[in-house]
Structure formats: structure tokens, C-alpha cells
Amino acid sequence: MGYADVYGAWKTDPEAFWMKAAEEIHWFKEPSKALFDDKAPIYEWFADGLTNTCYNAVDRHVENGRGEQTAIIYDSPITHTKRTISYVELRNRVATLAGALRAKGVGKGDRVIIYMPMIPEALEAMLACARLGAVHSVVFGGFAAHELAVRIDDATPKAIIAASCGLEPNRVVHYKPLLDSAIDQATHKPDFCVIYQREQEVAQLIEGRDVNWHGFQYGVEPADCVPVEGNHPAYILYTSGTTGAPKGVIRHTGGQLVALNWTMKNIYNVDPGDVFWAASDVGWVVGHSYIVYGPLIHGNTTIVFEGKPVGTPDPGTFWRVIEEHNVKVLFTAPTAFRAIKREDPTGEYVKKYDLSGLQTLFLAGERADPDTIKWAQAMLDKPVIDHWWQTETGWAIAGNPLGIEALPVKIGSPSVAMPGYDIHILDEAGHEVAPGELGAIALKLPLPPGTLPTLWNAEDRFKKSYLTQFPGYYETGDAGMKDEDGYVYIMARTDDVINVAGHRLSTGGMEEVLASHPDVAECAVIGVADALKGQAPLGFLCLNAGCDRPHAEIAKECVTLVRQEIGPVAAFKLACVVDRLPKTRSGKILRATMVKIADSEPFKMPATIDDPEILDEIRTALQGLGFAN
Ligand code: COA
Ligand code: AMP
């Protein structure tokens, strides 16, 4: 069956399609049906089945004879460490960790925040939660204490599992003081914290609250997998929205198991036993779906890489990992390739390694620019496949399903709708636009298994953010078009979210931080084009009347403030002071126009602009930062 047949089979009978896919998963009690629509527009999948994520990702492979197969390869060029963990070792380690958490009171439905770098223990912590039916929420290490505090207050975790430190190429990230500060700032307090002490930094434990990762596991009874309902939350993952308050995307257990397992063969074309490498971080959705759950559920070997595409130690690191560990599929963000291309444009490092085992490169997380795709194609001589998805969906909305049929690649398009997704391009009134015309990209409800059913503690926000603009559809927040062959093109966001090095960031969140500076009266943050990271945030600051402090000093303080409050991941390094911001007569800041000026792109003077002369002031300020030339 080709792509058209498989997509058609799904469309004709989605229930049969997903029930068939569910046969690949172990159920303690089989679900009676796939879709549960009695709470529509909140849809659930496999709700009355009983299963367990950890059992499917770990134990069943041991029971089916894969116990000696490597489950995790840890490769850390930063610490010069390599380690492998077999499925049986993983089962034993996770069962003990889960037993220790259970002994301290963690059970089904309790939330556990995980704040850890790219080490195998981060995966073990996630799997131990899944084993107990506890709901994990992993917080990316590049977020600062305040962001962690916001997540602590929203998820109200019983426990937090953290490492003593993370390691960036040029510095140690001191997690423990960040954790302590976050708990101080948060209203909710966890019962206890588990600290994994890395040899690079031993953190001070707080008596009565903190326990040592190794110590608290000593002598405990290992825990078995707890059967949970198909609609039991597997995790919460916070992602950026329009405001500074992150959205807690929920993933349900049954849908995630079925969908991710289905993607491993059908989209990525790997078989159990193959080595799959998603060069991302467990703090992002790519890490959840394709460092941890997808590969392990499917019986693959996954790679935990603690390093960067360049500088650890050189732009040949990716090729070394591929050769050394026999990686069949590499999945990363285009930024990683732009970084490598910048340091090794002629591919001298590529030539040093044997990449014959590599089958395909998959890209996602941000727009894959044609130059990067062509360079990767030329260097690797392998298919380079763009696919499009988001934290909310957990797996590809559009892609090229290599395990079903390799469709022709159209550079600039992540290809076609995956089974489960009915993609529509709509105008503002919700009418379908013609092929080739731009519009908002919306997905007909229900979304498939493995996507978000709602937001944690925020069903109204879920409905308002995603379901209200186009009744009967999920609004992706992306704008784009579809061609005559059904290939989609993702052009821009329709909200104030920007994408920096494949990281999704809220300009609204940064504006909230800038506005808290005592000298700032008003501000706006936009995403300007950046050759390496795709976009970079840039802030405009209007100062309080009478403030006569040097502008450069205030801009510098604002850069420091964003780093302190949101974290280094915001990569907020550009700020300038302006007298006024361009606005419409109704007071809306014209951010899109400022982006066009910064990127030296043509723009139409907005008909509703209050004072067009302000745009000249903005251009001058941007030129001072090296933009708008
Ligand atoms: N913990 C703490 N700090 C972190 C961090 C983490 N896990 N990850 C990144 N940071 C810090 C970086 O050290 C950097 O700090 P700096 O301002 O002191 O230099 C800052 O956050 C910005 O990080 P990043 O945007 O990643 O930039 P970079 O210059 O360190 O690296 C790339 C640039 C392109 C090499 C890097 O972004 C990359 O490898 N991207 C691959 C794509 C990817 O993983 N995307 C994730 C989604 S798929
Ligand atoms: P995140 O939730 O962090 O994964 O970010 C999701 C957003 O990243 C999407 O809504 C898009 O704006 C963007 N994105 C992800 N993948 C692609 C892609 N292949 N092409 C273009 N944009 C993408």
C-alpha cells in the first residue's frame, strides 16, 4: 500500500485504522474502542484500556528477548564519557528508582518535575514516573529559576528530580541554586527533591527536603508497572504561548503509545534494534517523543548526546557519533546543520567518517531553509526529510512517510498530511482558500491519538487558544499554504511566538520581563532574521519620562534581566531605546511591520497606523544594531 492508500484507509475508517495500530501495544486490558468523543471538543483515545508506558518501553522488550540489546547509548563529548545501558539494565534501574519514589509516597497521578541535563538518568526518571503512573513534567535546563517556579506552581509536583549541574561547553550550569531559588519563589512546595550528584559538581543538600539519588534508592523494593487508563496523563510539557504563562500540554498514555509506535516504522522507517538518534534535549517535545518514548516503545536503541553540533570538540562530532554508534536515522533541527555548515562549509569533517550506515536525515522544529537542505543533501548524499509538528501534536502533522512510500521531496515543504491529520488552509472567516494561497493552517477535529487532549488546569485556555477561531478545527498557530498535490508550506506564525535555534519562545513573555525594569515604561519584542538561529529576539524600550540614565546601560540591564528571569535559552541579546512605538490608531503595536523593517523586506504602510514617522525612528534604531540595512 502506498501513501495515498494508507491515508485513504485512515480517512475512510479512522476507528479501524487506530484500533489496528493499537494491536502493536501491550494492554493489561484492551480498549473497547479508539475514539471517545462524549466530551467533544475534548477528545480522548483508548480511554477504557489499561496499559503502562514503561512496560511498553522497557519491560516487554526484556520479556520478548531484547534484554541484552542496548537501549540507551550515552555519548558526552563534553565530559568525555560513553556508556551503554541494555534493556534489562534499564528495567532494573528504573524499577528500583520507581520503588524509591513510591516509598516516599509518589503514586499514580502525582506530578513530578524533572530538571536534568542530557544524561541517561533523565530518561530513567521519566520512565520511573511512567512506571508508577506519576505524571512527569520535564523542564529544560536552559530555563532560569523563575520559569521553573512558574511550572512548579502550575503542576504542583509532589517531588522534583534534579541533577546537581548541567554542562554547557563554556560553563557549568549550577542547577541546584536555580532549583532552590525556584522553590523559594514558588507558592507550592514539593514534599521532597531527589538530587543526582554529578562528579563535575556536588551540590549542597537541604536537610529534610533533599535526598541523594543513590542513597534514597538503597535497599528499596523495586516497583512493578502500574496499569493506568488509556486517558491517564503520561506527562505535562510546558510550551510558550502568547503570554508569559506557559501552556501545559498534556499527553495521554494510550494515544502516545499507539501513535509514537506507529511513526517509528511508517514515518522514520526503522525496525526494532536499529539505532535512532534525535539530537535534541529531553526538555523539548522532540526529546520526549524521539529520544525517549518513540524509540524505546518500538525497541530501538536511542542516543543521549550531551554536546553541541559544533565546538564539542569540532563540527565533525555528529559524523563521529553516526559512525561510532551505527546510527540509522538522525533527527535534528536545521539550526544544527547551519552551525555545522558555517564551520565546515566544504564538508572536510564529513569526509573523515564512514556514514554508510546512515539511512536518512529528518529535520523539524523550525523552517528548513532550502540552502541548508541542499547543503545537507550534497554533504551526506542521503534523503533529507523535513517534517512539521509542534509540542501540542507530539508527532508529525505533515511529513514524508518513508516506511510507507518515499514521496518526491519538494524543497521548502515538509510534504503531506500524515494519517490522522486533515489539514485545511483557512481565511479569516474560516473558508478554505484555493491551492497556493496563504491562510491559517487548521486541523479538522478530532486530532489523532498522541496529540494534546487539553491543557493542564486550563481547559478554557485550551478552547480559547486553539478551538475558538475556527469552530470544528484545531488552529495550529502557523500560517502557510497547500499546493495542488497536497504538499503544505509553513510560512510564519500567526501569534507572538518566535523560533530561536529550534526553541519556541514567547515574545510576550520577554515583554513582561522588560516591562518590569524600573526605567521601562513600554516595550515590544520582535523576532528578527538570524543566519544561524533562524530568528533572534530584539527588544524596543521606551523609558519613563524624566529618565536620564545612559540608554546603553539600561539596554544592557534588560538583557541581563531576561537571562535571569527566563534563562539563557531566550538568547535575548539585542535591545535598544526608542522614544515611541509604532501603533495603530486603536493602540495595537505594529510588530510585524517592525520585523519587515529589521529584515529589510518591503512592507505596505499599515492603513491604520497612527503616526508613520515613528517608523523612521525605528529604522534608525535598528540600523544602530546592524539591522534594516
Ligand atoms: N542548559 C543551560 N543552558 C543552556 C542549555 C541547557 N540545556 N541549552 C542551551 N543553553 C544556553 C547556551 O549555553 C547559550 O548560552 P550563552 O548565551 O551563555 O551562550 C544559550 O542557552 C542559547 O543556547 P542556544 O540557542 O542553543 O545557542 P548556542 O549558541 O549555545 O548553540 C546551536 C547554537 C545551533 C549549536 C544550538 O542551538 C543547537 O545545537 N541547536 C540544535 C537544535 C536543537 O537542539 N533544537 C532543539 C529542538 S529540536
Ligand atoms: P515546538 O512546539 O517548540 O515544537 O514548535 C512548533 C513550531 O515550530 C510550529 O508551530 C512551527 O511554527 C515550527 N516548526 C516546527 N517544525 C517545522 C517545520 N518543519 N517547518 C516549519 N516550521 C516548523
Give the number of the atom of ligand 1 that is nearest the alpha carbon of residue 286.
48
CB–CB of 598/528 below 8 Å?
A: yes
Q: Which residues line ligand 1 (CB under 6 A)?
A: 117, 141-142, 166, 168, 173, 280-281, 284, 286, 308-310, 332-333, 335-336, 339, 365, 501-503, 533, 568-569, 571
478 lines ligand 2 (CB under 6 A): yes
Ligand index nearest the alpha carbon of residue 535: 1
CB–CB of 519/545 below 8 Å?
A: no
- Among candidates 508, 573, 519, which has minimal Cα distance to 546? 519
Q: How far apart are CA 294 and CA 274, in angstroms?
A: 12
| Residues of the chain above pLDDT 90, percent | 98
Report CA(367)–ligand 2 centroid distance (Å). 7
Distances (CA, A) of 581 to 259, 534, 577, 589, 618: 46, 24, 10, 7, 8
Give the number of the atom of ligand 1 that is nearest the alpha carbon of residue 280.
44
Report CA(389)–ligand 2 centroid distance (Å). 6
Q: How confident is the model at residue 374 (pLDDT cuts 50, 70, 90)?
A: very high
Q: How far apart are CA 126 and CA 133, in angstroms?
A: 11
Give the number of the atom of ligand 2 that is nearest the alpha carbon of residue 398.
19
**Grid coordinates in use for 93?**
534501574
Provide the pLDDT for residue 506. Answer: 94
DSSP state of 135: E
CB–CB of 527/571 below 8 Å?
A: no
- Specify whether domain 501-624 bears CATH 3.30.300.30: yes
Ligand index nearest the alpha carbon of residue 281: 1
Report CA(365)–ligand 2 centroid distance (Å). 4
51: pLDDT strictly greater than 90: yes
Q: Could you tell which of 238, 247, 286, 390 is best to mutate to test the pocket of ligand 2, judged by most ligand atoms within 8 Å of the CB?
A: 390
Rg, C-alpha atoms of the chain? 24
- Among candidates 280, 227, 223, 234, which has minimal Cα distance to 260? 234
- Among candidates 327, 317, 376, 384, which has minimal Cα distance to 352? 317
Q: How far apart are CA 177 and CA 156, in angstroms?
A: 20
Report CA(596)–ligand 2 centroid distance (Å). 21
**How confident is the model over 598-620, as a mean pLDDT?**
93
Each residue of 381-401: pLDDT tens digit?
999 999 999 999 999 999 999
Residues 6+ positions from 100 with CB-CB distance below 8 Å: 194, 216, 217, 220
Q: How confident is the model at residue 572 (pLDDT cuts 50, 70, 90)?
A: very high
What are the E-state strand segments in 390-453?
398-399, 416-417, 423-426, 439-444
Q: Could you tell which of 249, 499, 505 is best to mutate to test the pocket of ligand 2, judged by most ligand atoms within 8 Å of the CB?
A: 499
Determine how β-strand 574-577 pairs with β-strand 534-543: parallel
458: pLDDT strictly greater than 90: yes
If you search the block for the grid coordinates 532560569, which residue do you land on? Answer: 144
Query: What number does CATH give the domain 3-307+387-480?
Result: 3.40.50.12780
10: pLDDT strictly greater than 90: yes
Provide the pLDDT for residue 244. Answer: 80
366 lines ligand 2 (CB under 6 A): yes
Protein residue with its CA nearest to atom 10 in ligand 2: 390
- Among candidates 297, 117, 292, 155, which has minimal Cα distance to 236? 155
243: pLDDT strictly greater than 90: no
Each residue of 265-318: pLDDT tens digit?
999 999 999 999 999 999 999 999 999 999 999 999 999 999 999 999 999 999
**Hey, is 51 helix, strand or coil?**
strand
Q: Where are the domains of the chain?
A: 3-307+387-480, 501-624
475 lines ligand 2 (CB under 6 A): no
Provide the pLDDT for residue 241. Answer: 85
Each residue of 142-199: pLDDT tens digit?
999 999 999 999 999 999 999 999 999 999 999 999 999 999 999 999 999 999 999 9
Report CA(295)–ligand 1 centroid distance (Å). 24
555: pLDDT strictly greater than 90: yes
Peptide bond before residue 233 is cis, with ω within 30 degrees of 0: no
Provide the pLDDT for residue 196. Answer: 98
Protein residue with its CA nearest to atom 38 in ligand 1: 336
Protein residue with its CA nearest to atom 13 in ligand 2: 366
Protein residue with its CA nearest to atom 7 in ligand 1: 141
Provide the pLDDT for residue 242. Answer: 81
Give the number of the atom of ligand 1 that is nearest the alpha carbon of residue 278.
48
Protein residue with its CA nearest to atom 42 in ligand 1: 333
Give the number of the atom of ligand 2 that is nearest the alpha carbon of residue 504.
3
Burial class (CB in 10 A: 0-12, 13-18, 19+), 207: exposed
Q: How far apart are CA 442 and CA 444, in angstroms?
A: 7
525: pLDDT strictly greater than 90: yes
Each residue of 66-122: pLDDT tens digit?
999 999 999 999 999 999 999 999 999 999 999 999 999 999 999 999 999 999 999
Each residue of 400-414: pLDDT tens digit?
999 999 999 999 999
Report CA(97)–ligand 2 centroid distance (Å). 34
Protein residue with its CA nearest to atom 20 in ligand 2: 367
| Residues of the chain above pLDDT 70, percent | 100
- Among candidates 429, 385, 377, 431, which has minimal Cα distance to 409? 385
**How confident is the model over 556-580, as a mean pLDDT?**
97
Ligand index nearest the alpha carbon of residue 493: 2
Q: How far apart are CA 622 and CA 540, in angstroms?
A: 9
Q: How far apart are CA 71 and CA 58, in angstroms?
A: 8
Q: Could you tell which of 366, 475, 487 is best to mutate to test the pocket of ligand 2, judged by most ligand atoms within 8 Å of the CB?
A: 366
Ligand index nearest the alpha carbon of residue 390: 2
Strand partners, 76: 81
Protein residue with its CA nearest to atom 5 in ligand 2: 390
On the question of a common fold for 3-307+387-480 and 501-624, the answer reads no
Report CA(307)–ligand 1 centroid distance (Å). 10
DSSP state of 13: -
Ligand index nearest the alpha carbon of residue 488: 2
Distances (CA, A) of 518 to 278, 522, 543, 623: 42, 11, 9, 26
Ligand index nearest the alpha carbon of residue 291: 1
Ligand index nearest the alpha carbon of residue 339: 1
